[in-house]
Amino acid sequence: MSLLRKIYKDRYGYFFLLPHFVVFLIFFLIPVGSGLYLSMFEYNVFSKTFIGFENYKEIFNDWLFKKALVNTFIYTFGVVPLWLGKALLVTVMIYPFRKPIKTFFKTIFYLPHVTSSVIISLIWLWIFNPTFGLLNYFMKLIGLNPVIWLGNKFTAMPSLIMMQVIMGGGSTIVLLSAAMASIPEYYFEAAKIEGANSWKIFSKITIPLLKPTILYALVMGTIANFQTFSNIYVMTQGGPEFSTVTVAYLVYTTAFRDYNLGLASAMSMVMFVILVGLGIIQFKWLGSNVQY
Amino acid sequence: MAKMNRKKLIKNTISLIILLFLGLMAFIPLYWMVVTALKSPTLVLRFPPEIFPKNPTLTNFRQLLGRPYILRWTLNSAIVAGSVTAVRIVLCAMAGYAIAKKKFPGAKIFFWIYIGSMMIPNQVTLIPLYIIVSNLRMINTYWGLILPSIAAPFGVFLMRQFMVTLPDEIIEAARIDGASEFQTFWKIIFPISKPAIAVLGIFTFVNEWNDFLWPLIVTNTTAMKTLQAGLVMIREEIPMEYALHMASATYAAIPMLIVFFAFQRYFLQGITVGAIK
Amino acid sequence: MRKGWKILFVALLMAGSMVLPAKITITWWINPWRIAPPGHPADKPLTGEEFPKWISEEFMKLHPDVEVKYVLVTNQEYAQKLAAAIATKTQPDFFKGPVWDSRWAKSGLLEPIDDYLSAEDWNDFYDQCLKAGYINGKHYVWPWVYGTNGMGSTMLLYTPDFEKAGIDWQKIVKEGWTMEEFVEICKKLTWDSDGDGKVDHYALALGAKGDMVHNVLNFIYAFGGRLTNQDESEVILNSPEAVKGLQFVLDLIDKYGVAPKGAEALDIYGVISYFHTHKASIGFGGPYEIGRITRYVKEGRISEAFYPVIAPFPHVAGKDPVAYARGSGFIVFKQNDPKKRDMIFEFLKFMTNKENIALLETLQYLTARKSVNETLYQNDPYMNEQVKRYAHIMEKYGLEFFGSEEFPWSQMNAHFVAALEATFAKTKTPQKALDDFVIEANKILKKVK
């Protein structure tokens, strides 16, 4: 009774929430629920057989899935720190400059985000091309041998990571810059007067004060990169020798090449659980004094 | 003091060099896209490549714009991306406001549902989503293109993160002035959320404009395709024509650049998401 | 009196249904293939739209009670779209696509075509085309195209290079070449053209991805390797013959140096680029690839036209060469209304009658009809000759590389590509690469059965 009264009292909360939530429920939560439900079936679009947890069992006996999982971790943990490091470096470096210069660099770094990831992948495929590509041209200019960037199982994944780091980070730079601008300037002044060097200022003042934004960027970056798909799809199709198969790509081929939608659903559920786990770890590790 | 200044100058110069280097690396691929688009098709497969095109040509753009439907696709993209952005901003701002400022039963649960949903890979929801859209008779309609994109949870999360940082006193003051709940939101909260709205707006518009998989699947007729979906068709019809592909990529990127530069004033100032409360 | 009313009523009903027959709507899907309908002006750019639009309208003229709707579907979306459509029971009535699943036929989702083929059709369509949809004693693919781009079927020779190296290419075209002759000729076609001491012109380029798989498999099959045993119960592609074939391909790069290193990274377009830029004298493919050259010249992407000739792949002395042969066509989903089913097959017959199937000429594809292929390119003696030779090689040596329709090659392909990548990158020996492939392939086979 009192709950009902409370709900009535707070009806405006629901009033504001509901419009989005209805759309969210129909076009997001229900499809996700169906996905979870389908993961218990052998489902190939036209026939459906309940098989309980068989799909999950099959996943963990499949070396390709394990390989995809390892690759996904390598990719994520390769990209996210480098890209966050780049964003932090850029943010700290542009801080002392005047506004037009700041804006110029923020714009330059943000530009790649404006182009679709498929197009970026197409451009890079062309840059990585062993025969006609720009990268091997530069290699030749500085006297190095051409490299088959995407054709070798040892260089393919690092190449993809490099591309992502070079193109990424723009939105994080914008966010970090904004956060940094909100730090009162006298913090830095005081530290300088006390004779702290740049590194000390960076590690003792900048980083702790930027922590919430860093955490946000870290979680968001992990989520996005863990699901990386279009660069794999366009550039390597998981090759060479499965060295760039990611979970999201495997989900795709399982669903739409093998028409095994139940198995694919189970894979994405596993992926979801891992992402939630990663999120919790990141919150615990960094988030102790962050308001969320 | 002079020593201090010189030290600062050296430091700034080093910073600038590093920044320019990093910036150049991110910029070169985009430059390469535009330059390739301006090359005559025969020059594309030349090694060493021409870094600065000697005879830039608009042939590729002419070929692209000479195709049927290209303007229709552009219009479709503008309609879809525009409506998704407008509706999403309003709905997400409302929902974010509710979760951040209205202490109603279940607010926390809703918040965690939204956060958790961001971690779900979208490959698998594709078929169930299609089934729902199909049952609602929305295949090959603008509705089918627009509604699923509005549903994405990120917007609510972003708006909530921003609105949490707004002082409660503003709302309290509005109430004392006799503003209704809706007026408080529309006249006070919404306007001061401009930076967050700019971020979500640009982010949404760009994402919608660049999305291709869902538009490919949910549309049937060529006339209903969005620009990116249409470009997939061109790339498949005419494979390997890099100059044309890059011209179409450049064409598709131009409206985004316009949007970005028009709103960057709000956008680059940015918001401090999840920041110091 | 009452009975009279009844009769009148029924008669009226019948008359009504005759005057206002319910319109039959047929929906079909097709790739955006640039086929020119008759009378399409040569200077007007061609898209994927013109042919399906034209053929649908022509058919509607013949059958005013039918409405035909086409949907252009790209390869990128085909699988998702088809899956989504089947799941919602909104699948097209028939489709021509890159993908389908033999399980659909077994589950009764598809319409067999057998009853609708005339005696003439049975004789005129290539066996390989009919076999492409043969499942449990019935045929499910209405033949349209034979051999697509010709990868793994024939080679293309850039004759000026051959003449420069003093090689009699006419003999190759007429009599074929043994593996030993092939190696010797390739050596002669490999040189340093800019004089910097490094080889920059090769006999041919090889690759590991996409349709390049067909070309490598051709060598493996020519050496006697086979994908499976007779009843397809086991994958045996690691037989000594198969290993020998793959070793031979690797030797072309590694031992003889007649193909550039880095094959593991080259896909079909990379390999084609070598041929188009005259960095390689031998290309792969059939008439379609010749057509690609003409098209690129017209579009300004190749500065100078050139006219390669079609030749068979090399063969092991004493054995025949092989050519990858496969047909493709239209697949019809199950129909409940017999009248509509008849109409759909009527449409298929219309689309594949001698006159209309010949329109594939504009796409440089061979048709599924033997009788038609002989008549193509009447006023282009060069092309006519190439197409005739291609058709001849395909008919004589044509072979399906990937097993029957029920064989789950699509799931194995990625593993085979990985084996080729490993071989070319030399992370595995041919033997080891094929052994590993066979283990994975047999696992998949077991799971499916």
How does pLDDT run across B7-19, given as a tens digit for each residue?
888 888 898 999 9
Are C307 and C430 part of one and the same domain? yes
Please compute the mean of the pLDDT values over residues C389-402 and round it to a whole number: 90
> Is pLDDT of B32 > 50?
yes
* Chains interfacing with C (3 or more CB pairs < 8 Å): A, B
pLDDT band at C4 (very low <50, low <70, confident <90, very high): low
B273 touches chain A (CB under 8 A): yes
Instruction: Tell me whether residues B232 and C77 touch, CB distance under 8 A.
Output: yes
Q: Could you tell me if A144 lies within 8 Å of chain B, comparing CB atoms?
A: no
On the question of pLDDT at C301 being above 80, the answer is no
Residue of B nearest to A269 (CA): B120
Residue of B nearest to C299 (CA): B41
* Residue A206: band (very low, low, confident or very high) from pLDDT cuts 50, 70, 90: confident
Q: Stretch A238-259: mean pLDDT, rounded?
A: 89
The whole-number pLDDT of residue A247 equals 93
CA distance B226 to B222: 9
Question: CA-nearest residue of chain C to A151?
Answer: C265
Q: C403-446: per-residue pLDDT in tens? A: 887 888 988 999 999 999 999 999 999 999 999 999 999 999 99
Does the residue C6 lie in any domain?
no
A287 or C305, greater pLDDT: C305
Give the nearest chain C residue to A152 (CA atoms).
C425
Q: Which pLDDT tens digit goes with each residue over A167-205?
A: 988 888 888 888 888 788 888 888 878 877 878 888 888
C48 contacts chain B (CB < 8 A) = yes
Which chain C residues touch A132 with a CB distance below 8 Å? 273
Question: What local confidence, expressed as pLDDT, does residue A79 receive?
Answer: 96
- For residues C82 and C166, membership in a common domain is answered with no
For residue A204, the SS3 value is: helix
Q: Region of C292 please: left (phi>0), alpha (psi -120 to 50) or beta.
A: alpha
Q: Does domain A59-289 have CATH number 1.10.8.60?
A: no
Contact of A255 with chain C, judged by CB distance below 8 Å, is answered with yes
A46 and C411 within 8 Å at the Cβ level: the answer is: no
Give the pair of three-digit tokens for residue A283.
């919150």
The B residues from 59 to 88 touching A (CB cutoff 8 Å) are: none
Subunit contact C270:A255, Cβ cutoff 8 A: no
Per-residue pLDDT at C21: 56
Using a CB-CB cut-off of 8 Å, the residues of chain A touching B103 are 10, 13
The answer to whether residues C219 and C366 belong to one domain is no
Share of chain C above pLDDT 70, in %: 95
Residues C44 and C158 in one domain: no
CA atoms A194, A198, A199, A203: torsion sign: positive
Percent of chain A scored above 90 by pLDDT? Answer: 33
- CATH code of the domain covering residue C272: 3.40.190.10
Query: In this structure, what are the phi and psi dihedrals at residue C72, rounded to the nearest 5 degrees?
Result: -85, 125
Asked if C215 contacts C152 with a C-beta cutoff of 8 angstroms, the reply is yes
Tell me: do C199 and C227 sit in the same domain: yes
Residues 6+ apart with CB under 8 A from B267: A174, B195, B198, B199, B202, B260
Same domain, C176 and C62: no
Query: Which of B91, B119, B171 best tests the A interface by mutation, with the highest count of A CBs <10 A?
Result: B119
Q: Is A14 part of the contact surface with chain B (CB cutoff 8 Å)? A: yes
Give the total number of structural domains in chain C. Answer: 2
Q: Does A242 touch chain C (CB under 8 A)?
A: yes
Report ipTM (2 d.p.).
Answer: 0.87
Residue C435 three-state SS: helix
Tell me which residues of chain C, numbers 346 to 405, contact chain A at a CB-CB cutoff of 8 Å: none
Q: How do residues C242-273 score in pLDDT, each as one tens digit?
A: 999 999 999 999 999 999 988 888 888 889 88
- The DSSP element (H or E) to which C309 belongs, if any, is strand C309-312
In this prediction, residue C258 carries a pLDDT of 95
Mutate to test the interface with A, among C109, C264, C443, C445 (most CBs of A within 10 A): C264
Average of per-residue pLDDT values in chain C: 89
Residue B275: pLDDT over 50: no
Residues in C closer than 8 angstroms to B222, CB to CB, are: 49, 72
Instruction: State whether residue C38 sits within 8 Å of chain B by CB.
Output: no
Domain closes at, from C335, C359, C376: C376
Looking at chain B, the whole-number percentage of residues with pLDDT higher than 90 is 34
Residue C180: how many other CB atoms lie within 10 Å = 11
Cβ contact (<8 Å) for C266 and A129?
no
**Are residues C208 and C237 located together in one domain of the fold?**
yes
- Contact assessment for residue B150 and residue B84, using Cβ atoms and an 8 Å cutoff: yes
Residue C390 lies in a domain: no
CA atoms of B139 and A262, how far apart (whole Å): 24
Position C5 scores a pLDDT of 61
Residue C303 has pLDDT above 60, yes or no: yes
**pLDDT per position as a tens digit, C161-191:** 999 999 999 999 999 999 999 999 999 999 9
C202 and C96 co-located in one domain: no
* C397 within domain boundaries: no
Contact residues, C window 272-311, toward B, CB-based 8 Å cutoff: 272-273, 276-277, 299-303
Tokens 């040892």 locate to: A154
- pLDDT of B276 reads 35
Asked if B94 lies within 8 A of A16 by C-beta distance, the reply is yes
pLDDT of res. C439: 95
DSSP C235: B
**Interface membership of C193 toward B (CB under 8 Å):** no
Distance between A79 CA and the closest CA of chain C, angstroms: 23
Is C249 within the bounds of a domain? yes
Average of pLDDT values for A206-212?
Answer: 83
Q: Is the pLDDT of residue A116 over 90?
A: no
Measured between CB atoms, which of B123, B132, B206 is closest to A113?
B206
> What are the residue ranges spanned by the domains of chain A?
59-289
**Residue C12 has what pLDDT?**
54
Average pLDDT over every residue of C303-307: 87
| Mean pLDDT value across residues C290-308 | 84
More confident residue, A21 or C302: A21
On whether both C124 and C208 belong to a single domain, the answer is no
Residue C297 has pLDDT above 60, yes or no: yes
Q: Mean of the pLDDT values across residues B165-192?
A: 87
Is pLDDT above 70 for C10? no
Using the predicted structure, report yes or no on whether residue B270 has a pLDDT greater than 80. Answer: no
Higher pLDDT, A251 or C103: A251
Contact assignment for A239 to C101 by CB distance below 8 Å:
no
* Dihedral pair phi/psi, residue C75, rounded to 5°: -55, -35
- The listed range with the strongest mean pLDDT (A13-17, B242-246, C159-163, C324-328) is C159-163
Q: Let me know if residue C258 belongs to a domain.
A: yes
Q: What percent of chain A is modeled with pLDDT above 70?
A: 97
Percent of chain B with pLDDT over 70: 93
User: Which residue from A150, A110, A235, A123 is spatially nearest to B31, judged by alpha carbons?
Assistant: A123
Domains of chain B plus CATH, in order, are: 2-59 (no CATH), 61-269 (1.10.3720.10)
Residue C272 lies inside a defined structural domain of this protein: yes
- Nearest by CB to C48, from B59, B233, B240: name it: B233
**Cβ contacts (< 8 Å) between A47 and chain C: which residues?**
107
| Chain C interface includes A126 (CB < 8 A) | no
- Domain range holding C134? 22-147+326-376
Q: What is the mean pLDDT of residues B210-221?
A: 87
Domain co-membership, C180 together with C311: yes
